[in-house]
Structure 1
C-alpha cells in the first residue's frame, strides 16, 4: 500500500475519485489517496469533538473479485492504510458498494448508513423502446403527458444555479430534507471545470413550461456511469409531471455520452407505504432498472473510545428521527 496524490486517484466510481475527495476537502473533510491490493482507494477523515478523527470510505474496492469481499481481506487493507496516516482514526467507517455483508470478524454494522444502501440502476445499453417498455405504465404515461403539455428540458450552465438552488430550498422545506449551502453546488461545477485529475462531467438540466422553470436535476457522468445527484422541483404545476421528463431526457443525454448505467441514487429499502419516502420509491422504481440493496456502512474500531462514540451516535439518531419530529410544527 502506498500514498497517491488526489490528482492521480481515478477510482472505480465518482465517490472514489480524487475529484470527489477534493470537493469534500473544500468543506471540512481531509482527503487521502492510497493504492495497493484491490486498486486505488479514497479515504475521507474528519475531526470529531474531543480531538479524535473518523475515517470514512465511500464505496471502496467496487471492482474487486467476490473472493476478496470478506471482512478479513478488508480489515487487512484498512490496517495497511492506517499505518500510512499521520493521524490515528477512532475508527474506519466503510460504505460497502457490494450486496454481500462481511462475514464475522471485527467489523461491526454501523448504527447509521451515510450513502443510501438501496438504489435503482437502469441499463442504458437497452434501446429506447426497451427502456420505455421496462418502465411502469404510469411512468410512461407521465413523461408523455409532460411532452404533450409542452414541458421542455434544457441543459443549462452555471449561471442557472441560483435559480435551481431557490427551487432546491423550496424542495427541502416541502420534503423536510437537509441540503448543502449554495457554495457547495457552485464549487461542484467549478471543480468539474478546473480539476487536473480524472473528473466527471457535471450537468444541470432544467424543465420549463411556457418559459417558467418547474424543476431541475444535477447529473454527473463519470467513467461509464451517470449519477442523478440532486433534484429540485417547485410546487406549482406539478400536475405537468416535469420531473418524469427530466429523468428521461437525462437518460437520453447519458446514453449519447457513452454511459452504460444510470444510477437513480437512493430509495427506501422496501415498498412500505408508511415510509416517509415511499413516494420517492415509487417514482424511481417506476423507471424500471435493477434494484440493488448494498450492505451499508461497517465500522472497524481502532480505539477503546469507539463504544462511546457509537452510543452518542445512536442517541443523536433517535433524537433527529423520532424525538424532534414530535416538536415540529
Structure 2
C-alpha cells in the first residue's frame, strides 16, 4: 500500500491540500493535532477519546491519518481535526474510511462546508466510502422521567423525550441533504452502528460531591453503604492487573450474554497507547474484598470529559456490591478532575423490565443521570457506481466477519 496514498499520521502529507473556499485540509502531525485539542477552540468542540491520536495505535488492521482544516493547517491555524481510520478492501487498492465519533468540528456551521475538502481528500486517498459519527445529541430522557414509563415491549422511541436538541435535528437534515445515510436506518434500530447510539450521561458541572450522592437513587446509596460496611476496598490498579480484568470480563460476558471479542493484548495496547499520550488518561479501578479482586472497571479522561468504558465482575460475593463501590469512586474522581460529564457509554433502548437487556439500563438509571440519543453513525459512498458496488460488498464482508 502506497505511503503517498495513505500518509502516516506522524508527519505532514506531501500531497496537495484539499480546499473549499478559505478552508484548507491536509494531514498534520500528532503534536499539532494534540495542541489544537488542548486549545480553547479545540476544548470547546469536546473531542472524545476515539478521536485522540493515540486511538490509531489501539486499532489493529487499520491504517490512519490525522487531518486538520482551517485557514492554514500547516501553520497550526485550525478550526477542526479528524482521526481517520482506513481499512483496505481485500484484493483492491481501495479503502473504507471511518471517523469514530468524529470529526472534531463545528457542527453548528449551517453549511457544514468543511465536509467538502474532507471528502475530496478521502477520494484522492482511495476511499470508496466514509463513515462519520457527528457529536451533537439528538434527544435526552431524564432518569426520573423514564423509571415510571417502563413496560412490556416498550422502547425509548415510545417515550416522549424530556429534551430534543435543535442542533442535532438540523445536522441530521443537513447530512441527508448531502447524500449521507444513517447507519441502521432512522428508526430505533442500532444494528448498523459501530459505536453506541444511546449513551448514559451523569452531569457533573456545577454540582458538589453531596449533589452527586443525593442524585443516586435509594438502592444505589444503600449498595454503596453496604460495600463500605463490608470493607470493600477500591484502588487504582496498573497494567499488571489487566490479565485479572480480562479474566473477570470473560466471566461477565458469559453471565450477561454478550461478547466484546477483545483480547488481553487489545487492552494492553489501549492502556499503553492512551497513557503514553497523557499519563493517567486510562485508569483501571479494582474492587477488593478479603484480598480478592471482585470487580474491575476502566475509566478514560480527555479534557473535561470522563468515560466509564468497560466493567467486569465475578459471579460470587455480589452481595457486597463491588461494582457500586467502583462507580461511586470513579464518579467522585471524575468530579475532582473537573470533568463536566461522566459518560457511562452505551445503554440499550429497551424499557421492558422482563427483557435481559433492561438490567444494564436500570443499573445506570440509578445514578440519576440521563439517557442521550446521539445522531448515530452516517455513511456515504464516494464516487461513481463502482464505488457504490464496492461499498455494498464491503458491508457484506464486515457482517460475515
Fold shared per TM-score above 0.5: yes
Residues 134 and 314 of structure 1: is their aligned pair in 2 closer, same or farther, counting only changes over 3 Å? farther
Residues 133 and 193 of structure 1: is their aligned pair in 2 closer, same or farther, counting only changes over 3 Å? closer
CA contact (8 A) 1:96 1:295 kept: yes
CA contact (8 A) 2:232 2:320 kept: yes
Alignment partner for residue 139 of structure 1, among 192, 214, 220?
A: 220
Residues 314 and 148 of structure 1: is their aligned pair in 2 closer, same or farther, counting only changes over 3 Å? farther
Which residue does 1:326 correspond to in 2?
none
How big is each residue's C-alpha offset from its partner over 1:133-175, in whole Å with a ceiling of 9 and x where there is no partner?
2222222222222212221111111111111111112112222
**Distance in 1 (alpha carbons) for counterparts of 2:89 and 2:320:** 46
Residues 45 and 275 of structure 1: is their aligned pair in 2 closer, same or farther, counting only changes over 3 Å? farther
**Distance in 1 (alpha carbons) for counterparts of 2:119 and 2:314:** 47
Deviation at 1:279, TM superposition (A): 0.8
How big is each residue's C-alpha offset from its partner over 1:218-257, in whole Å with a ceiling of 9 and x where there is no partner?
1111111111111111111112221111111011122222
Residues 236 and 96 of structure 1: is their aligned pair in 2 closer, same or farther, counting only changes over 3 Å? same
Which residue does 2:89 correspond to in 1?
48
CA-based RMSD: 2.5
Pair 1:31-2:64 in alignment: yes
Deviation at 1:274, TM superposition (A): 5.3
Deviation at 1:272, TM superposition (A): 3.3
Deviation at 1:131, TM superposition (A): 1.0
Alignment partner for residue 91 of structure 1, among 129, 137, 154?
A: 129
Which residue does 1:114 correspond to in 2?
194
CA contact (8 A) 1:216 1:233 kept: yes
**Distance in 2 (alpha carbons) for counterparts of 1:257 and 1:181:** 30
Residues 88 and 276 of structure 1: is their aligned pair in 2 closer, same or farther, counting only changes over 3 Å? farther
Greater CA drift, 186-195 or 87-96: 186-195
Normalised TM-score (structure 2): 0.71
Normalised TM-score (structure 1): 0.85
Residues 173 and 50 of structure 1: is their aligned pair in 2 closer, same or farther, counting only changes over 3 Å? farther
How big is each residue's C-alpha offset from its partner over 1:174-232, in whole Å with a ceiling of 9 and x where there is no partner?
2222231111111222223434xx67621111011111111001111111111111111
For structure 1, the 5+ residue unaligned runs are 321-329
Deviation at 1:283, TM superposition (A): 1.1
Residues 47 and 274 of structure 1: is their aligned pair in 2 closer, same or farther, counting only changes over 3 Å? farther
Greater CA drift, 5-14 or 90-99: 5-14
What is the aligned length? 311
Pair 1:58-2:131 in alignment: no
**Distance in 2 (alpha carbons) for counterparts of 1:311 and 1:137:** 51
Aligned counterparts, 1:119-268, within 5 A: 119-125=199-205, 126-175=207-256, 176-195=258-277, 201-268=281-348
Classify the secondary structure of the residue corresponding to 1:187: helix
CA contact (8 A) 1:7 1:19 kept: no
Deviation at 1:62, TM superposition (A): 4.7
CA contact (8 A) 1:93 1:299 kept: yes
For structure 2, the 5+ residue unaligned runs are 1-24, 38-46, 71-78, 139-167, 185-191
Q: Which protein shows a greater Rg? A: 2
How big is each residue's C-alpha offset from its partner over 1:39-98, in whole Å with a ceiling of 9 and x where there is no partner?
111111112334232111112245525244x6x636424324325x5x311210112222
Pair 1:6-2:30 in alignment: yes
Residues 49 and 272 of structure 1: is their aligned pair in 2 closer, same or farther, counting only changes over 3 Å? farther
